[in-house]
Amino acid sequence: MQQVNGFRVVITGKGGVGKTTLTSCLARLLGQRGVKVLAADEDPQMNLPYALGMPPRQAAAIVPLSQNPDYIEEKTGARPGKSFGALFRLNPVVDDVVERFGVHVDDNLDLLVMGTVVQAAAGCLCSENVLLDSVLNYLALREEEAILLDTQAGVEHFGRALAKGFSQCLVVSDLSFNALAVARHAAELARELGIARIHLVVNRYRDEVRDKLQRFAEATGTNTDRLFDVIHTLPGESRFEDLEPDVTRILGQESAYVAALEGLADDMLAFERQRQDPSAADLKQEGSEG
């Protein structure tokens, strides 16, 4: 396989639509294809370690960066909660963060649990936020890995440094009006931030995807073709219920979900190859119709 340099993907969408399931399966799948992956968890609920199959005791012991006052103080000079009025470093150097806090999952996969600051006010300038923003900026500089950032529900986190260096956004949704409305908002923000390829990933689809999307587009005046560069569909996978929390075990099995995920991974990698080397083969325009 033609190698692809590091790239960064943010996974977003309404609560419960399948972001963490997708992130974990995609992380393993890319790893199996020889891509070095760093999966980053920005959700305060920290589901990703479990979804990646980490033993529950080990997963429960992970302390997210946002709740590591010693590291935050070491780097920013201010202890969380005590930073009001204090002087702290706005651009701390955090190039040791993966080495110190990354968890080795397998040969091609590491995990970094970041956590999210509970926002007192949007863009609050407290030492936790400064630290997490610096970590995101630092991740954007790592050349060797594909970084998959699983996020909490909603789109609030897009306001910060998060999108810097992120070339792709997977907007996960089901076909409900509410989920599509969140997806639309997320895609608009991702566009504004200059993320180059925005995927709509319709998860657990049941029937006519195009019809439902069209109905949503007409009702809301949305141009889905302009909003999303590509639309993928992932079928419902009843075995997830039995496999939970380690849903990545589905990769060893015959599954329409996995087959569709392969198509999504193909698309992402083809895009990156072309972005990194525009003289490379033309990008496939169609998404995977699982």
Ligand X SMILES: Nc1ncnc2c1ncn2[C@@H]1O[C@H](COP(=O)(O)OP(=O)(O)OP(=O)(O)O)[C@@H](O)[C@H]1O
Q: Which of 158, 228, 240, 271 is the binder for ligand X (CB under 6 A)?
A: 240
Any contact of residue 173 with ligand X (CB under 6 A)?
no
Element (H, E) at 144: none
Distances from the Cα of 172 to the Cα of 6, 222, 234, angstroms:
22, 17, 10
Tell the residue number behind the tokens 């895009």, with chain if given.
271
Query: In 3D, which of 131, 44, 136 has the Cα closest to residue 88?
Result: 131
Shortest spacing between CB 74 and ligand X, in angstroms: 30
Any contact of residue 81 with ligand X (CB under 6 A)?
no
Asked if residues 105 and 111 have their Cβ atoms less than 8 Å apart, the reply is: yes
Element (H, E) at 86: none
Query: In 3D, which of 10, 136, 12, 122 has the Cα closest to residue 65?
Result: 136
Any contact of residue 43 with ligand X (CB under 6 A)?
yes
Any contact of residue 66 with Mg ion (CB under 5 A)?
no
Any contact of residue 68 with Mg ion (CB under 5 A)?
no
Any contact of residue 257 with ligand X (CB under 6 A)?
yes
Binding mask 35-64 for Mg ion (x = CB under 5 A): ------------x-----------------
Quick count: other Cβ atoms within 10 Å of Cβ 220? 12
Any contact of residue 253 with ligand X (CB under 6 A)?
no
Any contact of residue 16 with ligand X (CB under 6 A)?
yes
Any contact of residue 20 with Mg ion (CB under 5 A)?
yes
Contacting positions for ligand X (CB under 6 A): 15-21, 43, 47, 153, 203-204, 234, 236-237, 240, 244, 247, 257
